[in-house]
Structure 1
Amino acid sequence: MSTIYFVRHAESPKTDLDERTRGLTDTGQMAAARVSRFLTTEKINFFYSSPYQRSLLTIEGAARSLGQAIRIDENLRECVFSGQHQTMPQTDVYPLVRQMFADHAFSRDSSESFQSCQRRGVQALTSILQNHPGKRIVIGTHGLIMTAIFHHFDTKYDFDFLWQTTKPDIYRLTFNGTELVNVSRCRFMIDTLQ
């Protein structure tokens, strides 16, 4: 059995107009410290991440504590909502995402469709599972692509599921080969900064 920890990134400011370079807010940095404390207790063997800074910064503390390198996979990046990889206001993103869940082939202004985002995400996950059978692996990622990957295995992971996730959030998935066995949400935010 393999265990994958999908880590949705911590809070990130919308002031940086480049999706790739957005970091973390002060609140996001504190939450990332909680993520690190939790992950360092989970006997992680490998770390993978989206190339986007907010994902890397959310898991880098745990990787550093465990003496692990983070492997960057371009296919774990968030869905491209605009052709220029520019940050969109939250008020524009969620109506667009709702439409993408309703029509998996829909794409706007050279953006990516749900279908294409899901395909590359599932390919990345499958490759990770095949390369590291029986291991415990962290994947630093984003809300929509994470939900799209989950949706591939079970359609109950939909827009409403995405809407209730938090920044950060951690889901533990257990696989037998590439077959999903179980999904559970990890409770780590109750940890206090002491």
Structure 2
Amino acid sequence: MTTIGFIRHGITEWNELGKSQGIIDIPLNSTGKQQAVALAHRLALEEEWDMIAVSPLTRARETAQIIADKLNLPITVIDERIREINCGLIEGTTEEERIQRWGTNWRELNLGMEPRGDVSQRGIEFLEEIVQNYPGKRILVVSHGALIGLTLQRLMPETFSKTNMDNTSITILKNIERKWECILFNCTKHLELQ
């Protein structure tokens, strides 16, 4: 049995402003760092983990490093496949700005966004490789909201028709004999103590 703990990175200034980040490399803000510390304390008390895999984007790497330092764990894998969705022309814009530039139907336009199916496919490929390379391990995967959500929808469509991942949420999946089970979804109880 391999266990995956999917973690969405801590909050950034752009998250708070409602700006689409995509693959633009935005760091955590002070609140995001505090969220990551709170999650690291929770993980140190509740579960034992073997390693960390992380997206190459700064906000994910900063979150992962805070956790790694607290748990004394190696960041074993940095993988481009678990970076955030490329949002094309909408990166750096708010919903209001998108409506102003492209109209209320902006979602129907070709604005250079990476197809959702491509995002979930790279998430699935990453998971399959992790399970194959690290059987029986407990692996924290620090990534991004759209990547995690779309991967969950593709992996377990009957369970996840919609997902909304909160900053520093943890979602725990178990892979038992090639079958996936979700035992915890989008949990942020560590933030209630802040």
Same fold judged by TM-score > 0.5? Answer: yes
Bigger Cα displacement from structure 2, 172-181 vs 2-11: 172-181
Q: Which residue of 2 aligns with 1:9?
A: 9
Residue correspondences, number: 179
Q: Which residue of 2 aligns with 1:76?
A: 82
Output the CA distance in 1 between the equivalents of 2:141 and 2:156: 19
**Counterpart contact for 1:147–1:158, Cα < 8 Å:** no
Output the CA distance in 2 between the equivalents of 1:74 and 1:169: 21
Instruction: Normalising by structure 2, report the TM-score.
Output: 0.80
| Secondary structure class of the residue paired with 1:5 | strand
Q: Which runs of 4+ in 1 moved over 4 A?
A: 15-18, 92-95
Output the CA distance in 2 between the equivalents of 1:177 and 1:144: 27
**Counterpart contact for 1:2–1:174, Cα < 8 Å:** yes
Aligned residues with identical type, % of pairs: 23
Per-residue deviation, residues 96-127 of structure 1 (Å, max 9, x unmatched): xxx9xx9xxx8833321001111111101110
- CA 1:129–1:190: 2 relative to 1, 3 Å: same
Q: Which residue of 1 aligns with 2:160?
A: 157
Instruction: Normalising by structure 1, report the TM-score.
Output: 0.80
User: Higher helix share goes to which structure?
Assistant: 2
Per-residue deviation, residues 27-61 of structure 1 (Å, max 9, x unmatched): 11111111111222321101001111111111212
The offset of 1:135, in angstroms, is 1.0
Output the CA distance in 1 between the equivalents of 2:96 and 2:60: 21
Q: Greater CA radius of gyration, 1 or 2?
A: 2
**Counterpart contact for 1:10–1:29, Cα < 8 Å:** yes
Q: Which residue of 2 aligns with 1:131?
A: 133
**Counterpart contact for 2:23–2:85, Cα < 8 Å:** no
1:17-166 matches, within 5 Å, as 19-41=23-45, 42-70=47-75, 71-82=77-88, 87-91=91-95, 108-155=110-157, 156-159=159-162, 161-162=163-164, 165-166=165-166
Per-residue deviation, residues 121-176 of structure 1 (Å, max 9, x unmatched): 110111011111111100001111101110112224244x22xx311211111111
The offset of 1:62, in angstroms, is 1.8
| Secondary structure class of the residue paired with 1:188 | helix
